[in-house]
């Protein structure tokens, strides 16, 4: 098992990434996961290629970033015909370690704009955007994909080889089709087909919620590393557990209680402007509550709070009276 992977000139160790997730993969969660250990690569949530150049990095919750959040890839979503140049210039100014292209998101808002997975309806369109990105930056370039609109091995592998040929340095593959919901088991074996077809590193993504899942996913996919989304939100120490159990990296994940980790997250949210905190706490708690048998009580208590202070008080009461799963 390789303990590191190379993305262009960048070495990532361990080969474990926190996935791009709207409202979740922000500075506070990235920092929490870094503090708990085991993460080798961070992503921002998806950012609009047209709005990015206008965002105020000092206050934007999408761009706020502390120096320790490294290496960080900024994920872009692009619609056909948009110029990526100004956004790439901005990412250079912001000190990005890499740029990721969103080719997998099926959200209706993105579909309507022809971005995310909708972009892949026309491979030449994708080729053109990747070529533009490649010409605009020397930074490592990655792409995040799903398996396609339907299971078609030739089409999937041709598409991935095309991305590699245009200069993509890393593929993150979410093992579901475009229209498949999260309740469907991801096809980790199909990620293995991609892995065998390309010479760039592949991160396997989708449905990893435990060390055992991580092990099985690596076995089935043969991927060079893993990307965790919801599993690392609900259990921000999971990457550290995987790093220790699978990659043999010691000294990770200080033993903190669930209440301590939650408090730390609330504290980290203070980086954001007050009005930006509560929504992010609610979104985090939706996943974090799953650590408790009656976690929905925690989620509801926080969901119905009108301030972070109230949510935190209620959470403290919940922790005081509840056993961890
Ligand atoms: C709330 C939420 C927001 C997401 N936002 C993004 C995003 O901005 N860009 C992206 O490529 N994928 C996004 N995803 C998909 C995740 O990156 C990941 O592919 C998916 O959750 C499957 O991995 P998991 O089972 O480890 O969560 C999002 C997923 C969730 C749950």
Domain count, the chain: 2
Q: Is 105 in the active site?
A: yes
**SS3 call for 13:** coil
**CA–CA separation, 270 vs 265, rounded Å?**
9
Q: What is the DSSP string of 255-283?
A: ---HHHHHHHHHHHGGGS-GGGHHHHHHH
Residue 254 clears pLDDT 70, i.e. is over it: no
**SS3 call for 295:** helix
Nearest CA to ligand 1 atom 26: 229
Question: Is the CB of residue 21 below 6 angstroms from any atom belonging to ligand 1?
Answer: yes
Last residue of a domain, one of 221, 245, 269: 245
pTM above the 0.85 mark? yes
Q: Give the pLDDT confidence of 135-162 residue by residue, as tens digits.
A: 999 999 999 999 999 999 999 999 999 9
Q: Give the pLDDT confidence of 180-211 residue by residue, as tens digits.
A: 999 999 999 999 999 999 999 999 999 999 99
Assess whether 263 and 238 both reside in one domain.
Answer: no
Counting ligand 1 atoms within 8 A of each CB, the residue from 16, 18, 21, 181 with the most, and so the one to mutate, is 21
**SS3 call for 301:** helix
Q: Give the pLDDT confidence of 102-118 residue by residue, as tens digits.
A: 999 999 999 999 999 99
Nearest CA to ligand 1 atom 21: 229
- CATH number of the domain encompassing residue 200: 3.20.20.70
**CA–CA separation, 70 vs 232, rounded Å?**
17
**CA–CA separation, 142 vs 260, rounded Å?**
35
**Residues written for the chain:** 325
Distance 19 CA to ligand 1 centre (A): 6
Assess whether 197 and 315 both reside in one domain.
Answer: no
- Residue 266 lies inside a defined structural domain of this protein: yes
Domain that holds residue 302: 258-320
Assess whether 163 and 311 both reside in one domain.
Answer: no
């Amino acid at each position: 098992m390789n303990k590191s992977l190379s993305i262009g000139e960048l070495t990532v160790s361990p080969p474990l990434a926190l996935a791009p997730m709207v409202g979740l993969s922000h500075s506070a969660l990235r920092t929490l996961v870094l503090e708990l250990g085991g993460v080798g690569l961070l992503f921002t949530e998806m950012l609009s290629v047209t709005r990015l150049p206008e965002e105020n990095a000092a206050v934007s919750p999408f761009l706020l970033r502390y120096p320790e959040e490294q290496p960080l890839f900024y994920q872009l979503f692009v619609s056909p015909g948009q110029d990526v140049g100004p956004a790439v210039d901005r990412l250079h100014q912001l000190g990005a370690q890499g740029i990721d292209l969103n080719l997998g998101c099926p959200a209706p808002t993105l579909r309507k704009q022809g971005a995310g997975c909708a972009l892949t309806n026309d491979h030449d369109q994708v080729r053109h955007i990747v070529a533009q990105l490649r010409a605009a930056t020397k930074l490592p370039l990655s792409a995040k994909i799903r398996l396609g609109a339907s299971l078609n091995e030739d089409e999937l592998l041709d598409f991935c080889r095309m991305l590699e040929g245009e200069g993509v340095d890393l593929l993150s593959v979410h093992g579901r089709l475009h229209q498949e919901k999260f309740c469907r088991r991801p096809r980790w074996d199909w990620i293995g087909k991609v892995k065998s077809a390309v010479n760039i590193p592949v991160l396997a993504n989708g449905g990893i919620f435990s060390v055992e899942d991580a092990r099985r996913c690596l076995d089935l996919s043969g991927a060079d590393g893993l990307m965790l989304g919801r599993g690392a939100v609900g259990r921000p120490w999971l990457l550290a557990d995987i790093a220790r159990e699978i990659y043999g990296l010691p000294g990770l994940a200080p033993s903190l209680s669930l209440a301590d980790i939650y408090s730390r997250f609330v504290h980290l949210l203070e980086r954001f402007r007050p009005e930006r905190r509560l929504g992010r706490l609610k979104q985090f708690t939706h996943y974090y509550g799953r650590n408790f048998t009656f976690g929905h009580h925690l989620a509801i208590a926080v969901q119905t709070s009108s301030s972070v202070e109230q949510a935190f008080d209620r959470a403290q009461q919940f922790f005081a009276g509840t056993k961890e799963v």
